Amino acid sequence: MTHTPEFTEDQLEAGRLLFAKPWTFVTSVADMRQLPASVGVEITFAGRSNVGKSSLINALTGRKDLARTSNTPGRTQMLNFFAAPETGMTLVDMPGYGYAEAPKSMVDAWTALVFSYLRGRPNLRRVFLLIDSRHGIKQNDLDTMQLLDKAAVVYQVVLTKTDKIKPTQLSALLDATADILRKRPAAFPTIVTTSSEKGHGLDTLRAEIANLLER
């Protein structure tokens, strides 16, 4: 049984066309009162600090500098919104979690903002939970899954940086990750494997996102 999604040529083409549109930065939000109106379909990218959220958004949209990237963990401190207005789709880059060197007060503020957003956003269709394939699922990932389960927010795991590990390691990681997700009530059953650097899996993730827009 496969752990990864499979799409038709038409679905893959729909994903390509969606991300061929002009995507632009909309706003950064540090307070729930600053959130833009809840319109259209919204998806978010969550994950540990330095897991590659901004790089993945840039790779999906074909824009090298749409989402700000940094080698310094914890750089993304706000909810960053990106949209292609004619599509009705918005992407949200969340602050990374699990960065131990940030001041506790800052971490608490980021955490409160992110979790308030997840629980209260009516047009949030799915959270893509990014996992660094070199490290697998860690305790703070499980903690986030627990919160998403309680909030009944559907989330789907995206393995990043898969070009950094061997195919046999990736196969074992997929099996181990699938075993964990089977026990999570809000987890989507299939896993997307990606490499922003090499472009692997981007067509599949684009199709997955376009399919959400169709629904």
The domain ranges of the chain are 9-214
Report pLDDT digits (tens) over 80-133: 999 998 899 999 998 888 765 667 777 777 777 777 888 888 999 999 999 999
Which of 213, 214, 149 shows the shortest CA–CA distance to 180? 149
Give the torsion through C-alpha atoms of 71, 166, 174, 128, to 10 deg: 20
Pairwise CA distance, residues 37 & 39, whole Å: 6
Ranges of residues in the chain whose predicted pLDDT is under 50: 1, 72-75
Give the torsion through C-alpha atoms of 13, 177, 161, 72, to 10 deg: 120
- pTM (2 d.p.): 0.92
Average pLDDT, the chain: 89
Largest CA distance in the chain: 48
Taking the domain 9-214, which CATH number applies?
3.40.50.300
Q: What is the DSSP string of 67-86?
A: S---SSTT---SEEEEEEGG
Tokens 């999570």: give the residue: 184
